[in-house]
Chain A
Amino acid sequence: MSSSRASTWNKLGDAAYSKSEKVSADLVALTYGSFVREIIKDYEEPDQVNKELEKLGYNIGIRLIEDFLAKSGIGNCSSFEESAEIISRVAFKMFLGIRATVSNWNSEYNSCSIVFDENPLAEYVELPPEYTHSLLYSNILCGVIRGALEMVQIIVECQFVKDQLRGDDTNEIKIRFKEMLQEQVPWNDEE
């Protein structure tokens, strides 16, 4: 990935971030926190909670993509590599106000990691011992990425592999490219 393109996207992310309306980070952190607490009350099993958070993220992602395309002015991406870079440099900056980077590309270039050090969602959070290794607190982000990419015909699998709330040094989401959906003829019954 050329560094000039990377810096263009960084600038795009910064520009989109400065144009956006801001909300209080505390409000987001506390709202999300009470959200997760309610879901834990409803579902109890950490695996179920993780799945639910991902599903919620998916529903956000399918709408967020339109907002993202509108605010950033980005058109179609030419490759999965480009999509991953844009997600981390532009989208993370625009919506979360943090700079993320892409690393750990595998040899076929269909799997990578998005790494970020600050997580505004987990600002005041400490996980109790029974959840530290099972609850993926910010799993909503994985759902958002999956939902947003699905709307532009890219199917991926997203998973948290490192989480600062678990004691890791950084946060890392692994994205695995599964397939690119082709344009399908919607109905061919009457026509």
Chain B
Amino acid sequence: MTVYAFYLFDRQGNCLCYREWSRPKLMKDATQDQKNTFGVLFALKNFCKKLSPQQPGGQLKNYSTDVYSLHYFESATGLRFVLLTSRGTGDLSGVLRDIYLNVYVDTVTRNPLYVPGKSIQSQLFLSKLDSTIKALACFQDNEERKSTS
């Protein structure tokens, strides 16, 4: 079980943060990859709302293929938190919500030097994000894999 990557998008589609911990497939163009991811999620969200049996459409939480899972959390302000992991991690949308509440709000929203819409440069945000992800139970396998190979 591993965590591959993290994306953070705002409502306009700007990728505010991208972090990867292990991405086996080489990406040729990071911007294109981010745009694609945002586009997929935007369409998927609308699709989920349309198919929903209840009136308030409900929230997309994650989707899984046989190779990976994508976990999603969207705040009321349109911030989209995305985590790509391997299978078997369970639903991590709650973790993304915690990242929003405890990491993003404290280090980015309260940072007067941060301009909304620009990518996040704050070292504090990045290091807190790293430590939150590394503290997840499903992250440990990354380290083991690295030391044995």
Contacts and interface: CB of A to CB of B under 8 A. Distances in A.
Nearest to A150: B77
Contacts of B116: 62-63
Nearest to B111: A63
Contact of A66 (B39, B46, B109): B109
Interface in A65-95: 65-67, 69-70, 74-76, 78
Contacts of A76: 56, 76
B83 to A, nearest CB: 19
A78 B35 contact: no
B12 interface: yes
Contacts of A187: 13, 35
Contact of B77 (A66, A78, A185, A190): A66
A interface secondary structure, majority: loop
A152 B12 contact: no
Nearest to B12: A186
Nearest to B106: A70
A60 to B, nearest CB: 11
A69 to B, nearest CB: 6
A151 interface: yes
Nearest to A78: B56
Given A186-B12, A186-B13, A75 B109 contact: no
A176 B12 CA distance: 26
Nearest to A73: B101
Given A152-B76, A191-B35, A63 B101 contact: no
Contacts of A78: 56
Contacts, number: 44
Interface in B85-137: 100-102, 104-105, 109-110, 116
Nearest to A190: B35
**Range, interface on chain A:** 20 to 34
B119 to A, nearest CB: 16
B77 A70 contact: no
B42 interface: yes
Contacts of B42: 185-186
A14 B102 CA distance: 21
B39 A191 contact: yes
B76 A75 contact: yes
B35 A66 contact: no
Contacts of B46: 183
A66 B35 CA distance: 24
12 contacts: A62-B116, A65-B77, A66-B79, A66-B104, A66-B109, A67-B109, A69-B76, A75-B76, A152-B77, A183-B46, A186-B38, A187-B13
Interface of B: 11-13, 35, 38-39, 42, 46, 56, 75-79, 100-102, 104-105, 109-110, 116
Given A63-B116, A65-B77, 18 more contacts: A62-B116, A63-B109, A66-B79, A66-B104, A69-B77, A70-B100, A70-B101, A70-B102, A70-B105, A76-B56, A152-B77, A153-B78, A183-B46, A185-B42, A186-B11, A186-B38, A186-B42, A187-B13
The 7 A-B residue pairs with the shortest CB-CB distance, nearest first, are A186-B13, A70-B101, A66-B109, A70-B105, A151-B77, A186-B12, A63-B109
